[in-house]
Structure 1
Amino acid sequence: MSHSGKLPISVTIIACNEEKRIGECLNSVQWADDIVVVDSGSSDKTVAIAEAHGARVIHHTWPGYGAQKQFATSQARYDWILNLDADEHVTDQLATSIRNTFQNLPESIIAFECNFEHFLMGRWLRHGEAYPDPHIRLFNRQAGDWNSRQIHEHIEISGSTGKLEGSIRHKTVESLAEYIEKINRYTELQAEIIVESGKQVTFSQLFFRSLWRFLRGYIFRLGFLDGIAGLTHSMTSTLTSYLKYAKAYELQKKDQE
């Protein structure tokens, strides 16, 4: 425990123009002794809100998702890092689980996994690909860090991991229209990665991977139990799968011309 009675954990958050969401994120981690917000050029009240919540704000030009999170890790005061995006927050159950774990932290464990909950069309999804959707977000930086991928970055570690109770709640968009815009941006990056890898896109990838994505999420993982929101999530996930390959195919055809 730190001198302040807070946990010796650094919470790292990357942000840019997140004034609508970052407050809830910061409120959920006030039990941590160190909160670092790496801002890449906000023009709204993001920085002011972060400072008002006691965060250390560091300005750093945007290098990509993975690289920005690596930079945030390097600015932390403690080796144990909890990473959150500005549109995520920790539930009370997860906060309690982290506190209990750090009262008797096993030396062999170097990272912890927790479940995610995603919000869409007025409800927290509890089925399909959206839940439990486990990820490692609490880790010891002496054993690993984020990779440098432009998108779908993840923590790469070497050692034993544990499991935390509770979840991180992810409320990424305010509307379906905003969700579609995000899908469009992300699939452009994904398409570029596919093309750079040298893999040729085929009809089977366009059709069968998209079909399987829908069947897996909506039928086999019971996405239909989340009603219209569950159907929408499965359909947009299918669209995401299709668009990244379709855009990659388009780029490849242009390169061949």
Structure 2
Amino acid sequence: MTAPRLSALIVARNEQERLPDCLASVAFADEVVVVLDRSTDASAEIARATGAKVVEGAWELEGERRNTGIAACTGDWVLEVDADERVDAALARAVRATIATSTFAWHQVPVDNYVGGRLIRYGWAGSFGTTSVPRLFLRGAKKWRAQRVHPGLDWTGKEGPKVTEGALVHLVDRDISDMLRRLDKYSNAKAADLLASGNIGSLASNVRRFFSRGFKSYVSRKGYREGGWGVLLALCTGAFPLLSYLKAKLEPEKHGGAR
């Protein structure tokens, strides 16, 4: 019986500094596909030098560019990896073992999140971070929805057991300032999605979400175990939907075409 072929998919924009290490971490795959969205740096040359298939273009919606990448993959299975992520050796072995025997359509993989050089295990919740992501799937089983930030997913087939060995190492933020810049960027894009949907919600519901999501991050997801970092995560997790709503409500002219 022929072993299943694995495609590693990387979607990036102007990531010449982080792309080499990301590419090296997925060298175990049978095929590497790199989608570059409006990149103007050396990312294309770096990717091609490793033998990767490069797809260049311009996509306003995150879901559209990720679906373009999936369509470019030819493997039986696809592993999605962002440029600020690395597949550690244990996860690489576990992915190979999983696809060799799986009768399911998709699997969650574990994530280790770093801010600078610090591994933060607790407090990730909502749309601001997660410790598990559905990134390993049969080609054709996963479709991203047409949204700018954290688009929803449509699945064909059943979810299998979570991969438990190793981790996807996520260099999520360089420092606190970088974390706050990410909050600003994400809420800009989410405000545009809200305006495009025609339903931005209400102030009261988003104030409630500020507290409920902050509580989930700090208490339910045990962010308190991270000290001050847990407080930061709770604030950002709660603020994301509220800030997105306020931008859509108070500054719609600035976010109707946010990218």
TM-score, length basis structure 2? 0.86
Corresponding residue SS for 1:156: strand
Report how far residue 49 of structure 1 moved: 2.1
Does residue 28 (structure 1) correspond to residue 25 (structure 2)? The answer is: yes
Could you report, residue by residue, the CA deviation over 1:1-36 in whole angstroms, capped at 9, with x for unpaired residues? Answer: 98xxx9611111111110121122111111101001
| Counterparts of residues 136-147 of structure 1 (less than 5 Å) | 136-147=134-145
Match in the other structure for 1:152: 150
- Which runs of at least 4 in structure 1 moved beyond 3 Å after TM superposition? 251-254
Match in the other structure for 2:239: 239
Match in the other structure for 2:122: 127
- Classify 1:76/1:252 alpha carbon distance in 2 versus 1 (closer, same or farther; 3 Å): closer
Q: What is the rounded CA distance, in whole Å, between the counterparts of 1:7 and 1:32 in structure 2? A: 11
Match in the other structure for 2:53: 56
- Classify 1:172/1:204 alpha carbon distance in 2 versus 1 (closer, same or farther; 3 Å): same
Corresponding residue SS for 1:20: coil
Residue identity matched to 1:81: V
Does residue 41 (structure 1) correspond to residue 24 (structure 2)? The answer is: no
Match in the other structure for 2:111: 116
Report how far residue 154 of structure 1 moved: 4.2
Range 159-168 or range 173-182, more displaced: 173-182
Compute the RMSD of aligned alpha carbons: 2.4
Report how far residue 222 of structure 1 moved: 1.0
Check the 8 A contact 2:4/2:76 in 1, yes or no: no
Does residue 93 (structure 1) correspond to residue 90 (structure 2)? The answer is: yes
Check the 8 A contact 1:223/1:231 in 2, yes or no: yes
TM-score, length basis structure 1? 0.87
Report how far residue 248 of structure 1 moved: 2.3
Range 85-94 or range 164-173, more displaced: 164-173
Report how far residue 218 of structure 1 moved: 0.8
- Given candidates 69, 81, 85, the residue that maps to 1:84 is 81
Q: State the identity as a percent.
A: 29
Q: What is the rounded CA distance, in whole Å, between the counterparts of 1:178 and 1:221 in structure 2? A: 22
Range 42-51 or range 128-137, more displaced: 128-137
- Classify 1:132/1:115 alpha carbon distance in 2 versus 1 (closer, same or farther; 3 Å): farther
Corresponding residue SS for 1:171: strand
Q: What is the rounded CA distance, in whole Å, between the counterparts of 1:61 and 1:144 in structure 2? A: 21
Report how far residue 98 of structure 1 moved: 1.0
Match in the other structure for 1:188: 188
Report how far residue 183 of structure 1 moved: 1.6
Give ranges in structure 2 of 5+ residues lacking alignment: 255-259
Report how far residue 200 of structure 1 moved: 5.2
Larger Rg: 1
Report how far residue 234 of structure 1 moved: 1.7
Report how far residue 208 of structure 1 moved: 1.5
Check the 8 A contact 2:4/2:75 in 1, yes or no: no
Q: What is the rounded CA distance, in whole Å, between the counterparts of 1:52 and 1:42 in structure 2? A: 16
Match in the other structure for 1:15: 12
Match in the other structure for 1:211: 211
